[in-house]
Homo-oligomer: A and B are copies of this chain.
């Protein structure tokens, strides 16, 4: 009897995370719909859309937040962003810890290595550490940016702008109070470097930050940290170079900028798609190959248990490694002197497959409901799924149904499609295994 009762009140992590996000969006919608929140009345769909966009740290908006939101409205937006960014990071870490605790022997070693600072029950302490990390990073960012902006804006406005943009950056939200996002800042290396550092640190994942701070030297890092750091450096470098080369002569993006600015803008444009979503150029004027590159980067995203979304860089790396090892007739891939288990490959396969399916399905639905050209629509869909917030400028043209569809997609993208599907699919009961059989593929 007792066992039954216990089972009944147990809420699964996927349900808890989905439920709390929905609650947050619900409350956020109500607050944004209050007359006090906006300078002009907004529709319910617009309120839902922007509340979802903030909670999922996407940054897509159907109106200009800087001019439409009042101080109160901005405050609501920031709270939603903090909960949606840091909150999910803390939650994901807690789940990872509980998960790891259950796995037992095979991961004990890793667990000891990576989380030796926590007792196993110390979820609260973990959350405390995450908050300390987040608020320290944001605090430093706010002070630095305020000091830098005082000469230009005066103390009050500098502080106001800094708080908003630093929180937006660290949480990978990409909302800006400037009407053209950060296009006006494209020749300001200080702002670009500061904000990009914040969103890279916020998006790389808490375990990675802990590892890098606690252990001196690459050799001592966990495999996850090694992959994230190497992968991030490599992908960001490649993306920067590709953007620079592809847009070099495009007079509507970086073509007219001096070389130094070209470099910085290319760097920022290369790193921002992996969830941050600030833009320093007009994506509507970008070359098709660069847009294609950006879509891939948005789909990949950054780190697990972070303020970023997407399928995650490690998922992408595992799929690539598994493919290479298959071609080399190896069963399990090896990297940095470690072997990856089949389970991780199967998980990465599932995440990628479900994500592709989700993106495709929503693109299909929006192609039915919207009268918008294919590329901008596909770009918007991938951007919403990756909770990136970059847009070729069609967000305001979405129909009401379109806004709701994109809202649902941002929600799925942030909680992770796996989380959602775990809610929908019941685990199979144990039974005897059927005999093995062969199928021809490819």
Contact = CB atoms under 8 A, between A and B. Distances in A.
A347 B329 CA distance: 10
B425 A348 contact: no
Interface string A345-366: 1111111011000001001100
A364 B242 CA distance: 11
Given A329-B427, A442-B416, A349 B319 contact: yes
B323 A441 contact: no
Contacts of A107: 438
Contacts of A288: 367, 374, 377
A305 to B, nearest CB: 7
B337 A350 contact: no
Contacts of A341: 436, 438
Given A314-B441, A346-B322, A441-B314, A436 B339 contact: yes
Interface in A296-333: 296, 304-305, 311-312, 314-315, 317-320, 322-332
Contact of A442 (B222, B315, B435): B315
A364 B326 CA distance: 25
Interface residues of A, number: 84
A12 interface: no
A322 B352 CA distance: 12
B205 A292 contact: no
A311 B434 CA distance: 27
Contacts of A364: 289, 292-293
A340 B428 contact: no
Contacts of A345: 346, 349
Given A224-B439, A416-B442, A322 B338 contact: no
B436 A360 contact: no
Interface string A268-297: 000000000000000000011101110010
Contact of A441 (B318, B375, B438): B318
Contacts of A319: 349, 353
A256 to B, nearest CB: 21
A440 interface: yes
A349 B374 contact: no
A425 B292 contact: no
Contact of A354 (B323, B428, B436): B323
Contacts of A322: 346, 349-350, 353
A288 B376 CA distance: 13
Nearest to A365: B289
Interface centre among A354, A367, A438 (most CB of B within 10 A): A438
7 contacts: A207-B440, A223-B437, A288-B377, A289-B364, A292-B360, A326-B346, A338-B434
